[in-house]
Chains A and B, each alone.
Chain A
Amino acid sequence: MFLIEALGVLLVLAGMPFFLAGTLGLLRFPDVYTRLHALTKADNLGLGLVVLGLALQASSWQAAAKLLLIWVLVLLASATACHIVARSALHRGLKPWNRKEQ
């Protein structure tokens, strides 16, 4: 029991750096496309680890299943939203950032 609890805490803690990195990327990366790249890492992997950690500590398997369902829905939604934003940016003529041109 204690091991499962500890593993849950460990997974939640492992998920947090992804959110930090995603936020840093959102603030510091040079253009829309690279920022989206940073954000989706936090959404997918970071949230996945946090959800896994929480599911291990959940009181029932139903609660754990709900948490995993949330993760799957966020995966779908964030990938779609990311695609739409990038597509819209491309339509507006925003060129992807290029190190050589700077």
Chain B
Amino acid sequence: MIEFAMDITLVISLLWLAWLLLAAQDMFKAIILFIIFGLFMALVWARLNAPDVALAEAAIGSGLSGALLLASLRRSGESGAGNEQRAGGLEPGSGITPGSATLNITHRLLTVLIIGLAGTLVWAAWVMPPQHSGLTEQVTARMQRSGVSNPVTAVLLNFRGYDTLLEIGVLLLALICVRSLGALPQFLTLRPPGMVLMAFTRLLVPFMVLVAGYLLWAGAHAPGGAFQGGAVLAAAGVLLLLADIGLLQSCPERLLRALAALGFTVFLLVASMMLQASGQILNYTPARAGAWILLIESAALISIALILVLLFSGGRFEKGRVPAQERDPVQ
């Protein structure tokens, strides 16, 4: 009974938050609501017994995406008239006026489409057999040969390893695209970090590195893995950037590029070795599968973390710290 009440509360809160966030006029408010929405989503995944997804949702969906959105808002606000003015919703005369006829038709068409989609989903859920287990049986039958004991990792890195290879490729491609856009305006100079944030970062970053390593290791037999660990490591990197501790900025450019490409390269190398040896891509021998998966995941962890932090900071780590006279008197 209590669990049912909790689930209902979660579902209603989720829908309500989604509505609030879509209806928010102020961009800043919308982003904060988006972060809260992500945290509720993580709770929902946890309730659905999917701790892997919950971890990823909280770290990437809520934390990193939220930080990315806030950083973009700050940059777009600063390129405009002033710092105080936030890039808020639709300003009068700046976009399409809601009264125009074409927009009305588009709205109606969209409404019909959305209602149709919602109806189809409800119908699909309705006719689904209650005992439908999807591919669970096939996965459990082959767990012995996967080299790991966590089914999620087995699917991601073994049975459907090809998908994950492409995913890491997409991440790398996104970074290359962002970098090709050129330098972005620096956003740290206006408000230098205080001593409290610096001390906090110095305390917390070693912890986060430890947790990332643990998640990577735990991925073989429990919820965790390269994406979850990478997200935690990326959060540590974002903290380092925000606290203006020059660790990442002092990395040589070549090393950064090599590390960002490391995950995809190792994955691709292993895949082509398997192709040579067995004629099938990513067809590990069951005895060695665990070791191959750990190797690929370790390389992927570093690349995922680095790419996420680089995306947050606009593709590059800007060199040049805040000049002393601009440092803030209020500490």
Contacts and interface: CB of A to CB of B under 8 A. Distances in A.
Do A and B come from the same complex?
yes
Interface of A: 73, 76-77, 79-80, 83-84, 87-88, 90-92
* Chain B facing A: main interface SS: helix
B196 A83 contact: yes
B84 A84 contact: no
A84 B199 CA distance: 13
Contacts of B203: 76
A64 B263 CA distance: 37
A73 B207 CA distance: 10
Interface of B: 84, 191, 194, 196-197, 200, 203-204, 207, 328, 330
Given A73-B207, A91-B328, 19 more contacts: A73-B204, A76-B200, A76-B203, A76-B204, A77-B200, A79-B196, A80-B196, A80-B197, A80-B200, A83-B194, A83-B196, A83-B197, A84-B194, A84-B196, A87-B330, A88-B191, A90-B330, A91-B191, A91-B330
B168 to A, nearest CB: 30
A73 B204 CA distance: 9
A79, A80, A91, A92: residue with the most chain B Cβ atoms closer than 10 Å: A80
Nearest to B328: A91
A92 to B, nearest CB: 7
A77, A84, A92: residue with the most chain B Cβ atoms closer than 10 Å: A84
B263 to A, nearest CB: 28
Contacts of A84: 194, 196-197
B293 to A, nearest CB: 27
B200 A87 contact: no
A83 B196 CA distance: 8
